[in-house]
Amino acid sequence: MPMKGEGSGVIFRPDGYIVTNDHVVGGFDKVTVVLKDGREFPGKVTRAEDSDIAVVKIDASGLPTLPFADSSKVKPGQFAMAIGAPYGLENSVTIGHVSAVGRENVIPDPMTGVARHYPELIQTDAAINMGNSGGPLIDVDGEVIGINSSIVSPNGGGIGIGFSITSNQARLLAETLISKGKIVRAYLGLVPLDMHDIQKNNLHVNSGALVDSVASELRASRSDIQVAVGRLQEELKKARREVDELRLKLATGGASSSNGDETREVAEGVKVLAREASGLDAAGMRQLSDTLLARIKSGVVVLGRSGDGKVSIIVRTSPDLLKRVPAGQVIKELAPMVGGRGGGKPDMAEGGGNQPEKLAQALEASYQVVERLLTEQAASA
């Protein structure tokens, strides 16, 4: 017997990638995406079943998107809006607040009954009902902080207790599904628990987790567990490198290395990397600059992005060059080139302007600016 249902989603990329819940589209041979302007498209589904996130690809381009915020900065009490199609009422908006963060839950899939573990949820009192699943929870700046996924309800209707998958988790899963077509997870074999402040005080630690239980195949001596944890840490480092590489590819249009034409050695052992990073918000720019600075080790990273008639530039300087090439000085020279101003600290500075057509010129000039500052510092020494 054919099944049908409906839910919501958010356009993730202008070339036709849409993020939604897996429980909205999972298990369907065909899905139809209806845009706000009334256009309808058949969609191809790629699933992250365990995490309740899916990506739907439609044959469209130039679509409007919503930026994804850094959900690690979301705090209880913040303004929040849920957008979706509750009970089929398309493009409905409900207003509320972030009630709590860091919620954890186990929820059965409404179609299959299989329980899913949600380790990191945002709780909101913005009304969420059937049909809202997969739609965005946005902040006061109109940026996505979560993907609405579930509610607590004695009768099936919203009572002001709804949950959203964090935007950071949704973004990472969506990027991985788009690039690799599937999610591959490591097997930890341990059940960790967050520690309360009293437990941290008793153990004389500032952070960490308690191991509540160990999978039967991993039960062994304490030393064996330490070896297993060491291996897991190495796997985590590898996974982080892969995430950084993926973030770099998405931001730079597919370039997979930081050793291309953008990286130049302007003095002995000192490199400058200047490039445009499209498709990232401010938090993404900072994360990408961290990755690139670690790769060049000694030098300066300059990233720029443009949109809506504005330009943003971030400058990062490695620790060994803070006195010779402070980032704050570099941005003070680059920002006026794009019709604005900037400032900051020796290690990181940001600025911008309203002349996006001059971004490429400013990025090119960054090499000469750094080289000149190095020369001036050497002459005064």
Tokens linked to 85: 């199609």
C-beta of residue 45 within 8 angstroms of C-beta of residue 134: no
Residue with tokens 């960490």: 208
C-beta of residue 104 within 8 angstroms of C-beta of residue 119: yes
* Annotated catalytic residue, options 51, 92, 99, 133: 133
* Annotated catalytic residue, options 52, 70, 125, 139: 52
Tokens linked to 315: 């400058």
Checking 242-251 for CB contacts under 8 A at 24+ apart, the result is 243/172, 244/291, 246/175, 246/176, 246/179, 247/175, 247/284, 247/287, 247/288, 247/291, 248/288, 248/291, 248/292, 249/179, 250/175, 250/179, 250/279, 251/277, 251/278, 251/279, 251/280, 251/284, 251/288
52 is catalytic: yes
> CA of 1: how far to CAs of 25, 26, 28, 237, in Å?
17, 16, 12, 47
> CA of 238: how far to CAs of 119, 182, 231, 243, in Å?
22, 18, 11, 9
97 is catalytic: no
What DSSP assignment string belongs to 160-176?
A: S-EEEEEHHHHHHHHHH
* Annotated catalytic residue, options 22, 23, 139, 318: 23
d(CA 47, CA 23): 10
Helices (H), 136-281: 167-180, 197-203, 222-251
179 is catalytic: no
Q: What is the largest CA-CA distance in the chain?
A: 82
Burial of 100 (0-12, 13-18, 19+ CB in 10 A): middle
d(CA 138, CA 132): 13
**Residues with catalytic function:** 23, 52, 133
